[in-house]
Each structure stands twice: as C-alpha cells, then as structure tokens.
C-alpha cells in the first residue's frame, strides 16, 4: 500500500476505491441510493442508533464472539493459530451483523418491505431473522441450484416468516438471485429497502456493509492483544463478495506489519467456468452496480462460476478488495473444492468445530498461510459460519448416504 493510499482507506466520492466501486444502476435507483447514503451518514453519528445496534449485537446476536486458540492446528502448522468464531453468532454466521444494522436503517427510512438475495442461505436466514425481530416483511431471492444445496436454510427462512422466491434463470446461483432482487427493487423502490448481504454493489453498500461487519476485526484486535500482547502476523478469511473478510481486515488496514490473506474459491479447475477466483481468471469490468474484477469472456460476457460452497460461487468481488489487492495491501489466493473439503474435515477432527464450506476454504489454505509467516507467528482465521447447513451436501459429495 502506498503512503497516500494508507491515509485514505475510506471511499472517495460516490464510493470509489481507486478505479473500483461507483454506482452503475438504472436512474430509478439513484434517489434511493442517495436516500440510503444520507441516512447512513446520519446514523453513523447518531448515539441512539448506535446504542440500539450495540445492544442487539450483544444481547441478541451474542457478541462479542470468542477468539479461540486452536491448539491442535497450532501444533500441526507450527504457528499460533486463533479462530474468530463468527459461527457462534445467532443464526450461525457473520451475516446477522449486517442484517440487524440494515434492518434498523430501513426502519429510520420508513421502509417496511425488505428484499434480499442469498447464495449459501446464511444471509437470507439472517435477514429473515432481523425482519421477524423488527416487524418487517421479508422477501428473499435464491437460485434454485442453491436452494437444492441449502435446503435446510430455505426451510429456516420460511419458518421465520420470509417468502423465498426461487430464481431459475442463468446458473441458478447467487448472481442470478442478485439480478432478480435488483429488478424487484427497481419496481418497488418507494416501499422497499434492499438488504444487500455482501460488501459489493453500488455505493453506499460496500462501505455500509463493511462498517457493519467491522465489529469482527475490532473485537479480534482487542482479543488478540489481550491473549498475546501484540497484533497478529496474518489474518486469513474466505472471500466471496467479501463481507466477512473486509470486516476482519478493515480495523487492521493501518497496521502495515499485519498481512491480509483472502482465500477465493478455486473450484475444480483453472478454466473459466470451473472456479470463482476473480483475481486468477477475472478482469476489470462493470457488474451488478459496481466496477471490480469480474469473471468474463473476451467479449465482456459474464461467465458461469463453480464452487463447492454456494456462498463463494459469485462472478465478481467487492471493490475494496480489488483496490487492496492492486495496492498490494492484501494478497488473494485460491483454495480448491477438495482442499476446502479437507479443511472442513481437519477443523472438525482436530478442533471439534464443523465450519461452513465457505469458512473451510480459509482452513484449507492454512498450509499456504503458514508459509507466509515465521515459525510461531500468530495467525487469525475467520470462521465466518458453521457447517450445519452443509452437512447433507458434503455427505452427498462424498458418496455417503444419510
């Protein structure tokens, strides 16, 4: 990261992170984005709003989440490895941090109808939960392939009173769910707030979602200082759209000695369509309201993606991640489907924790992470979600009948 960029981690006008970010949306949505941006600027400084958010995060979500020392993993990799336990949040993942924050924001806007997209289902469950708590009507768009992979979460959303709307177009995964949610928002913008689940899309969403998720890194910073008396050498997190990772990374951006490692879905091969590693196979483009790295062909057409994890199966990446990578402040590597499955088994068998398939990518990359730190160096791995939702799919992939 250059000296000048280190002084400006917040976005520039209209949410620009260098050449990334921005707002590439129909004119119909510009007033709504302006309204959200103005409201968010107010509530960031509103002590009443912030106190209400902190109270819900503490008494409802279950924050702060623990920073767990992983003794067996530490012995295996000869590093001091800590796990940030977002899997212990209410609903089982970090997504609830943002859903609660945006739900409260929607109430300040007077919007009673909520829409959301979901891939792995965790954001959908978190949004449905927040809506049930706050008395808001919830509609969640989800690709039919993801509904098949994540059927327990579909049922959970419906139990919580949400309407789950199947999306059967395109690859029937996350990008198609986002497309349909955006179409809904254009049609119903006056009455509806879109709780976008990751640090992507048009401004102000990348900044707003990052801020709501930064509670992860703020807690981890305090906890590791208490446990070790110093900051970690390396932070590791999986990266789909990028909310759990930017939430962990952001409070450490100015600490130049703390390295940041994002892990993308390496899928089943190196060819386009076989993975969701945007920095390995993508290029600069405009996608779903933002400029970022996009998996696209030579004609600029977005290609299909593949990952064993529904939550990482996305053709683009949040603009701040693209900027951090160009600035060489963060590094991004791949973890294949098989390495992720191995990571899931490793964490389960060594530490008694079954991670989500998304988080398993971070665990599956620990051998690569360890090579980037000295012996006995301190590594924090973000366990962004728990694996209950994935057990049936893992069994199917491994040929086990339940």
| Residues with active-site annotation | 95, 117, 384
In the listed set 174, 209, 244, which residue is the last one of a domain according to the structure? 209
Residue 120 falls within a domain, yes or no?
yes
Q: To the nearest whole number, what is the mean pLDDT of the chain?
A: 95
Residue 13 falls within a domain, yes or no?
no
Residue 18 falls within a domain, yes or no?
no
**pLDDT for 229-240, tens place per residue?**
999 999 999 999
User: 139 and 245, same structural domain?
Assistant: no
**pLDDT for 66-116, tens place per residue?**
999 999 999 999 999 999 999 999 999 999 999 999 999 999 999 999 999
User: 192 and 314, same structural domain?
Assistant: no
The label of the residue with tokens 């959908």 reads: 124
Residue 7 falls within a domain, yes or no?
no
State the residue range of the domain holding 346.
63-92+215-397
In the listed set 143, 174, 209, which residue is the last one of a domain according to the structure? 209
Please answer whether residues 34 and 25 qualify as being in contact, where contact means their C-beta atoms are separated by less than 8 angstroms: no
User: 220 and 187, same structural domain?
Assistant: no
Q: Distance between CA 119 and CA 124 in Å, rounded? A: 8
Task: For residue 402, name the pLDDT band (cuts at 50, 70, 90).
Answer: confident
Task: For residue 8, name the pLDDT band (cuts at 50, 70, 90).
Answer: very low
* Mean pLDDT (whole number) for 36-55: 97
Please answer whether residues 53 and 105 qualify as being in contact, where contact means their C-beta atoms are separated by less than 8 angstroms: no
Residue 2 falls within a domain, yes or no?
no
Residue 16 falls within a domain, yes or no?
no
**pLDDT for 169-180, tens place per residue?**
988 988 899 999
Residue 286 falls within a domain, yes or no?
yes
Per the structure, how many domains does the chain have? 2
| Prediction pTM value | 0.95
Per-residue confidence (pLDDT) for residue 5, from 0 to 100: 43
Q: Domain containing 361 — which CATH number? A: 3.40.50.1100
The 10 Å CB-count burial string (b at 16+, else e) for 58-78 is: eeebebbbebbebeebbeebe
Per-residue confidence (pLDDT) for residue 13, from 0 to 100: 62
Residue 3 falls within a domain, yes or no?
no
pLDDT of 190 above 60: yes
User: 163 and 82, same structural domain?
Assistant: no
In the listed set 209, 233, 259, which residue is the last one of a domain according to the structure? 209
Task: For residue 2, name the pLDDT band (cuts at 50, 70, 90).
Answer: very low
User: 385 and 357, same structural domain?
Assistant: yes
User: 230 and 183, same structural domain?
Assistant: no
Using a pLDDT cut of 70, give the percent of the chain over it: 97
User: 121 and 201, same structural domain?
Assistant: yes
Per-residue confidence (pLDDT) for residue 174, from 0 to 100: 86
User: 205 and 119, same structural domain?
Assistant: yes
CA 389 centroid distance within chain: 16
pLDDT of 14 above 90: no
């Amino acid at each position: 990261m250059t000296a000048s960029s280190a002084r400006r981690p917040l976005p520039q006008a209209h949410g620009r992170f260098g050449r990334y970010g921005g707002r590439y949306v129909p004119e119909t949505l510009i007033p709504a984005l302006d309204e959200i941006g103005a409201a968010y600027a107010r509530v960031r400084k509103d002590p009443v709003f912030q106190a209400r958010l902190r109270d819900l995060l503490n008494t409802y979500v279950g924050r702060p989440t623990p920073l767990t020392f992983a003794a067996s993993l530490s012995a295996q990799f000869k590093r001091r490895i800590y796990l940030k336990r977002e899997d212990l949040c209410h609903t089982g993942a970090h997504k609830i941090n943002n859903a609660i924050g945006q739900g409260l924001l929607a109430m300040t806007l007077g919007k009673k109808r909520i829409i959301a997209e979901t891939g792995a289902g965790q954001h959908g469950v978190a949004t449905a939960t927040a809506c049930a708590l706050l008395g808001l009507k919830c509609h969640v768009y989800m690709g039919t392939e993801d509904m098949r992979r994540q059927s327990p979460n579909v049922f959970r959303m419906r139990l919580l009173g949400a309407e789950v709307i199947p999306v059967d177009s395109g690859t029937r995964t996350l990008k198609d769910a986002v497309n349909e949610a955006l179409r809904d928002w254009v049609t119903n913008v006056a009455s509806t707030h879109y709780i976008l689940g990751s640090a992507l899309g048009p401004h102000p969403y990348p900044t707003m979602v990052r801020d709501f998720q930064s509670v992860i890194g703020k807690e981890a910073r305090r906890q590791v200082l208490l446990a070790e008396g110093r900051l970690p050498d390396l932070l590791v997190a999986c990266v789909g759209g990028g909310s759990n990772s930017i939430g962990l990374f952001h409070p450490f951006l100015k600490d130049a000695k703390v390295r940041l490692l994002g892990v993308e879905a390496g899928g089943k091969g190196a060819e386009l369509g076989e993975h969701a590693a945007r920095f390995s196979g993508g290029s600069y483009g405009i996608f779903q309201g933002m400029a970022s790295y996009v998996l696209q062909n030579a004609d600029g057409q977005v290609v299909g993606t593949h990952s064993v994890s529904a939550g990482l199966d996305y053709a683009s990446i949040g603009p701040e991640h693209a900027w951090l990578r160009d600035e060489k402040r963060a590094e991004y590597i791949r973890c294949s489907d098989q390495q992720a499955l191995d990571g899931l088994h490793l964490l389960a068998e060594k530490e008694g924790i079954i991670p989500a398939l998304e988080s398993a990518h971070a665990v599956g990359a620990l051998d690569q992470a360890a090579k980037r730190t000295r012996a006995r160096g301190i590594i924090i791995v973000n366990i962004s979600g728990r694996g209950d939702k994935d057990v049936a799919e893992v069994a199917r992939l491994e040929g086990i009948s339940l």
